[in-house]
């Protein structure tokens, strides 16, 4: 985390996806609500930049929830904003993931889920069939008991492959031991160019005002054209489309140079949705810093504080996985990466849930949008409405 805190400025990177018919919009909204709840917890603990993937975490926890029962399942459902005990939720996850699949080759969005389970553990066919159908997650048996370190490396290698080597060493040494029963893993990789190229000749250095009244000179990219835009007394909001216009980055810039902390404090996801819904075409001169961020979190205590403590104790009920219970969540590990430059955006994230046995407006003159102080940003997929990545930028140097 120390290296992470030294990286770029206040960024809220949210990949959001607009609504489709059926149950998918509900899961998109659930992911966004969960992601914003998580943002408040993580931002309070981070002095500088922040970046993570709500979608990756929600998918890994969604697979875990599918094997939970009783109070454990109820707590997880509330935290994930899922309907309690709805038999159609697994089918909704399947529709949701299908809606996220790129329809053309203009950009890359790869999402993979997998279970790594102890050899001979005897997981219930109903559980395995459910996660295979709902999440496209097969079970791969590994020798946690005989060679936990080789199992850890195998999982890390799978994550690295799925994320084009952007997420390395997701599971640190010691995370996996002989008591490990199951690791539920998600990986997401995103790569897209801007819808219209940004000319590198227009990039120039300018000051970015960091928290604490200091400033740093960083490269600012510049482009003037018609963008979807909104402004009010609190913020300026602009949407920057990627190739094929299926996804876009939404940047939320406080009016006050030092206004991000106050904005975050009282901001709700409903307000953000209202701003995004109110975006309208306008000529905008956008000046945005290049930035590159990484994030790494162990989310157990954060998730317990959000309202699902039972899953991390010996009272956890995951009997839907093996028919007899005796399992609890040992760790929820998350790593993420994002790079934004003149070419576009590359982002990746991975999440592992480690389980052990309890024995353990119109056109006119351009308006200036100069993001030279901490801001929020969202990468928005305009078909489903789910937050794939979140964060904040405080120092893009």
pLDDT computed for residue 66 by the predictor: 95
Q: What is the pLDDT of residues 323-373, one digit of tens each?
A: 988 999 999 999 999 999 999 999 999 999 999 998 644 456 778 888 888
**Ramachandran assignment for 60, one of left (phi > 0), alpha (psi -120 to 50 degrees), beta (any other):** alpha
If you average pLDDT over residues 32-49, what whole number do you get? 89
Question: Can you give the pLDDT at residue 22?
Answer: 38
pLDDT band at 17 (very low <50, low <70, confident <90, very high): very low
pLDDT of residue 176: 96
Q: How far is 175 from 173, CA to CA, in rounded Å?
A: 6
- Mean pLDDT (the chain) is 88
Whole-structure pTM value: 0.88
CATH architecture of the domain with range 50-193+292-357: 2-Layer Sandwich (3.30)
- Six-digit token pair at 83? 């309907």
pLDDT at site 87: 77
How confident is the model at residue 9, as a pLDDT? 26
Q: Give pLDDT tens digits for 210-235.
A: 988 789 999 999 999 999 999 999 99
How many residues in the chain?
A: 397
pLDDT-derived band of residue 115, with 50, 70 and 90 as boundaries? very high
* pLDDT surpassing 80 at residue 147: yes
């Amino acid at each position: 985390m120390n290296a992470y805190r030294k990286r770029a400025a206040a960024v809220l990177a949210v990949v959001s996806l607009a609504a489709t018919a059926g149950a998918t919009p509900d899961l998109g909204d659930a992911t966004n609500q969960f992601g914003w709840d998580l943002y408040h917890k993580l931002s309070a603990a981070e002095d500088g930049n922040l970046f993570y993937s709500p979608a990756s975490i929600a998918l890994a926890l969604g697979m875990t929830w599918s094997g939970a029962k009783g109070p454990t399942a109820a707590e997880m459902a509330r935290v994930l904003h899922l309907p309690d005990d709805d038999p159609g939720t697994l089918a909704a996850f399947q529709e949701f993931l299908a809606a996220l699949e790129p329809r053309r080759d203009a950009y890359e969005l790869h999402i993979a889920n997998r279970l790594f389970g102890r050899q001979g553990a005897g997981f219930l066919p109903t559980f395995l069939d459910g996660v295979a159908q709902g999440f496209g997650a097969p079970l791969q048996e590994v020798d946690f008991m005989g060679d936990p370190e080789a199992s850890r490396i195998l999982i890390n290698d799978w994550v690295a492959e799925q994320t084009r080597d952007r997420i390395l060493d997701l599971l640190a040494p010691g995370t996996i031991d002989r008591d490990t029963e199951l690791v539920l893993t998600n990986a997401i990789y995103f790569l897209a160019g801007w819808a219209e190229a940004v000319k590198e000749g227009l990039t120039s250095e300018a000051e970015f005002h960091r928290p604490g009244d200091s400033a740093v000179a960083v490269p600012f990219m510049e482009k003037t054209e018609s963008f979807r835009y909104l402004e009010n007394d609190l913020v300026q909001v602009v949407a920057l489309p990627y190739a094929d216009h299926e996804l876009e980055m939404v940047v939320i810039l406080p009016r006050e140079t030092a206004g991000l902390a106050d904005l975050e404090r009282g901001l709700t996801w409903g307000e953000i949705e209202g701003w995004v819904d109110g975006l309208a075409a306008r000529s905008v001169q956008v000046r945005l810093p290049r930035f590159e961020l990484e994030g790494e979190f162990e989310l157990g205590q954060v998730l317990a504080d959000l309202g699902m403590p039972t899953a991390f104790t010996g009272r956890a009920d995951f009997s839907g996985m093996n028919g007899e219970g005796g399992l609890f969540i040992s760790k929820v590990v998350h790593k993420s990466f994002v790079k934004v430059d003149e070419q576009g955006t590359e982002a990746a994230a991975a999440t592992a849930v480690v389980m052990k046995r309890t024995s353990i407006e119109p056109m006119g003159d351009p308006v200036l949008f100069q993001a030279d102080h901490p801001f929020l940003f969202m990468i928005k997929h305009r078909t489903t409405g789910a937050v794939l990545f979140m964060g904040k930028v405080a120092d893009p140097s």
